[in-house]
Amino acid sequence: MPFRFLPLILSLGLTLTFMAPARGETVFVRSRGGEIGRGWLFGSAGVNPGDCWIVVPAHVVQSPETKTLEPFFFSDTNGKSGESGDPISAGIENPATSAERDASDLAFARVDSGRRDGQCMSRLGVPTFVYGNLVTANPRLTVLSTLTTSYGAFEAVIKSGAVDQFGGAVLDFGITNEEDSSYLKKMLSGATIIAERAGQPIPFAMVIRVTEDQHGMRGLRFDYIRERFTAIEAADAARHRGTRASTEGVPYRVLDYKAIDVTGSEGPSVLTRGGGCWRAAPSGGRKDVELSIELSDKLDRVESLALLQTEACNSGTHSFWIERRNNDGADWDYLGRCESRLTDSPACRIAITGPGQIRLRIEAKGPLAVSALILR
């Protein structure tokens, strides 16, 4: 490797390592079929901040037989390895622009192992309005390519770009030194092209592919990649919520309740887990037990609610009234009346969207015994 890049590699490597929570990092990617490439490990700034994702060229993780995107392995320059979930294509139906056509060779995947959610606080580059200054201030950019345990770097320049709303989301790059053509190989796909801003490295573009003559690269700017991720994450979060609601139930937390715990061993939080039994009695001469809960995920949609009992946790059928409000201090809106039921009975339809709070006023002339409160 040419001596002129040693200080640059050390600087970039150290900066990206110590600033990983703020900037993200390039990782070495290996598909299940043995294809080699690069990816960018980052944290979401949108629906679920800090969740760990990797963006990678789709052709690197595509099955050669079925053409479907498959989970892949990754490792960083410290040798720490991990595995992704199922990749999601960033492709757009009926693409009309060069950027939309090249987005079909882009995929995003959640990190299943190797990083915990909350550890990835990076971002996908800088806002679009900053890119004009980056191009002017960086006539020469740096291509950062991870090896299995080290960094490699070489200089590149912008040769051409498409005219679009981003001012050129798709860019063609060339090398400045002929001797660096040895870097331009198939497995360079996914490498990060770095610009500098205020003395700090900024992810500028991702290499999608190397040209057939191996003298240039096609890249997508990271602000466009961020735009695609925003759409992908929103759709994936909606799908995940729907799946979770139909299987595990919509998560919530108990805010407060007006009742006396009969046994003293289990409070109403046991209702969130199921399998237990909350035994309570009205307090202060009341004829009902009041329970207030709050949706844990503010974007969740709740179609139905069920207050369940089992043969072992049963005090007879109880009528209850359901109310909701958006936040503390707001007025409660009446949603309807329902009844407690055994676990195999249908739920009560309420059809609400978070954020919000739900209050149940459960009729109870004597002790109450219920096993679960399920939102779906």
Query: In angstroms, rounded to a whole number, what is the distance separating the alpha carbons of residues 262 and 280?
Result: 5
Whether residue 135 is found in the same domain as residue 197 = yes
Q: Indicate whether this model's pTM tops 0.95.
A: no
Q: What is the pLDDT of residue 62?
A: 94
Whether residue 278 is found in the same domain as residue 198 = no
Contact 353, 302 (CB under 8 A): yes
Whether residue 11 is found in the same domain as residue 159 = yes
Domain boundary among 239, 271, 306: 239
Q: What is the pLDDT of residue 13?
A: 43
Domain boundary among 206, 239, 272: 239
Backbone torsions φ then ψ of 150, nearest 5 degrees:
-160, 175
Query: In angstroms, rounded to a whole number, what is the distance separating the alpha carbons of residues 345 and 95?
Result: 47
Q: How much is the mean pLDDT over the chain?
A: 84
For 285-356, strand residue ranges (E) read 288-295, 301-309, 319-325, 333-339, 341-342, 348-353
Whether residue 227 is found in the same domain as residue 263 = no
Regarding predicted confidence, which is higher, 274 or 206?
206
Domain boundary among 239, 272, 288: 239
Distance set, CA 55 to CA 230, 263, 371 (Å): 12, 52, 43
Q: How much is the average pLDDT of 63-90?
A: 91
pLDDT (tens digit per residue) in 308-362:
999 999 999 999 999 999 888 899 999 999 999 887 666 889 988 878 899 999 9
Whether residue 133 is found in the same domain as residue 176 = yes
Residue 91: CATH number of its domain: 2.40.10.120
> Could you tell me the residue range of the domain that residue 121 belongs to?
3-239
Whether residue 252 is found in the same domain as residue 235 = no
Number of domains composing the chain: 2
Predicted confidence (pLDDT) at residue 31 exceeds the cutoff of 90: yes
Whether residue 31 is found in the same domain as residue 173 = yes
